[in-house]
Amino acid sequence: MISVTRAEVCAVACAELFRDAGEIMVSPMAPMVAIGARLARLTFSPDILLTDGEARLLADTPPMGATGAIEGWMPFSRVFETLAWGRRHVVMGANQIDRYGNQNLSAFGPIQHPKRQMFGVRGAPGNTINHATSYWVGNHSARVFGGSVDVVSGIGWDKVDSGNPAYRFVNVYRVVTNLGVFDFNGPDHQMRAVSLHPGVEAGQVAENTGFEVHGLDSAETTRLPTGDEQKLIQETIDPRGLRDREVKAVKS
Amino acid sequence: MTGVTDKRTTLEEAVSSIESGMTIGIGGWGSRRKPMAFVRALLRTGVTDLTVVSYGGPDVGLLCSAGKVKRLYYGFVSLDSPPFYDPWFAKARTTGAIEAREMDEGMLRCGLQAAAQRLPFLPIRAGLGSDVRAFWGDELKTVTSPYPTDDGGFEELVAMPALTLDAAFVHLNLGDASGNAAYTGIDPYFDDLFLMAADRRYLSVEKVVPTEELVKSVPPQALLINRMMVDSVVEAPNGAHFTTAEPDYHRDEKFQRHYAEAAGSDESWGAFYATYLAGDEADYQAAVRKFTADAAAAKEASK
């Protein structure tokens, strides 16, 4: 029997975010998601566009940390235009995320006098109101998934003003964590379990989440990588094993 | 025959016209192609109460370290590589020392575009529903589109106010004496907009060359800055240090970590200040060369 690690399951779950995405720019903000995006491009979503983390669009799909042939130019100004255009799916991290998908990567505590300062809201407000946004959380805990977020950086579904058509492009799509895959198709767009990774119990997710996760009992099991996918992850995309630094090597 | 105006000057002369209470814009992005020589020169002045507009990196950090910032307009402040978070910006925020006008990254460009086009505002979707509006209070308003959507609704959008600057500082790779300049790296960032949004425009470059040499050295598309956009030109080799000015040099990761660690205590910052910031730009560059040589010697000795 083939042995599969939790990190490999997470990489596949991240890749699945981009299934049927078509010809759009994919912006992974963490190594695990970058591994998933490369896997998607090498398998079921060959048309997605990826950058090298700077302003080059990659024609090749090089291993993590390596460079490859390019196919175009994507400076920050063009990123802003592309995101307003909507042809983008970003996967951000989150210091906090609530039941409606509001995300914080700015600071903890009061807005003008925080207890801890992180980056600031960065592009999260513009990303979330313009195009598909997902999140990757490598350490699923009640600290991250709490009752409310201190600084709403990426907006959640409860912020959508149905009377204002400017919100019509909001698509807070999914959250992938080390425990499972979640969407916002619970009641009133609350977080719902889509699948739990092999070996993860519903109770473990409930215990590590500060709000009720819908659909825990009916959640499926996250699929394992195929043999080809596993080989791609191990040998082609991430030979240095960056994935195992983000998610401990639990055998699935 | 008279030629075009020669705008070359010194760092000290350039920053001498900056006054307390002014609004200044700083080009570059995060820890990339920041006009650090100008920032260091500003630290040597008595200027205070600045309002700063920046895609922030250690430029913001250093200005905060000297207590020069009153209000900050920014989307983020990042060192772009470990330890990522700027310690002086964090200190300024967690002590409540600065008034934060935090916003989406795209909003900042939008505000510079409005200023450059002499418009009071430009509409943008970014910011709606987020806590950006809580940072700004009444200073940030919305505007309702006069045009209906296909469904007959009317969009209410953020009316991003013009970020009009008293002064702007940018650093490019190559320029001439009259203020034409090229970036030879991969991204122009928003340096052109910073200059066009400002009343007084300060350009530093790695190297000043004759115009004929400038235009022969780069493709025309790299000539981001033309001389209408610039009042003063300073040749400042290694002037973006310790941020990256690729392809001339990469970020000095060792030095950036040294900067971040030095902020950890009054004692270590005192030593950092005395070594690198108490003198002029030439002293700084000499101290950096010594830092690099000492690190190389230590590495050799540990072999």
Across the interface, whether the CB atoms of B155 and A115 are under 8 A apart is answered no
Q: Which stretches of B104-249 are DSSP H helices? A: 105-116, 132-136, 191-196, 211-217
Residue A96 vs residues A135, B109, B153: alpha-carbon distances, Å: 11, 27, 33
Q: What average pLDDT is seen over chain A?
A: 96
Q: What is the mean pLDDT of residues B275-281?
A: 98
Q: What is the mean pLDDT of residues B185-195?
A: 98
Q: Which sign does the torsion angle of CA A32, A105, B251, B179 carry? A: positive
Tokens of A51: 């950058």
- The pLDDT value recorded for residue A78 is 98
Res. A9 pLDDT band, cuts 50 70 90: very high
- The pLDDT value recorded for residue A250 is 63
Digit-coded pLDDT (tens) for A129-176:
999 999 999 999 999 999 999 999 999 999 999 999 999 999 999 999
Digit-coded pLDDT (tens) for B36-77:
999 999 999 999 999 999 999 999 999 999 999 999 999 999
Neighbouring CB atoms inside 10 A of B9's CB total: 15
Phi-psi region of A80 (alpha: psi -120 to 50; beta: other; left: phi over 0): alpha
Residue in A with minimal Cα distance to B134: A111
Residue in A with minimal Cα distance to B103: A121
Tokens of A209: 């989440």
Across the interface, whether the CB atoms of B105 and A122 are under 8 A apart is answered yes
Instruction: Pick the residue of B81, B147, B157, B187 with the most A CBs within 10 A to test the interface with A by mutation.
Output: B187
- B250 φ, ψ to 5°? -85, 170
- The pLDDT value recorded for residue B157 is 98
A138 CA to centre of own chain = 10
CB A194 within 8 A of CB A168: no
Digit-coded pLDDT (tens) for B73-84:
999 999 999 999
DSSP letter string, B118-144: T-SEEEESTTTTSTHHHHHGGG-EEEE
Percent over 90 (pLDDT), chain A: 96
Res. B302 pLDDT band, cuts 50 70 90: confident
Beta strand A107-108 pairing with A116-117: antiparallel
Contacts of A168 in chain B (CB under 8 A): 149
The span from the CA of A138 to the CA of A13, in Å, is: 12
Contacts of B131 in chain A (CB under 8 A): 106, 111, 121, 151-153
Residue B189 reports pLDDT greater than 90: yes
Residue closest to A27 by CA, chosen among A106, A100, A87: A87
Residue A119 vs residues A26, A78, A159, B90: alpha-carbon distances, Å: 21, 22, 22, 9
Contacts of B260 in chain A (CB under 8 A): none
- The pLDDT value recorded for residue A93 is 97
Interface list for A 132-161 with B (CB within 8 A): 151-155, 159-161
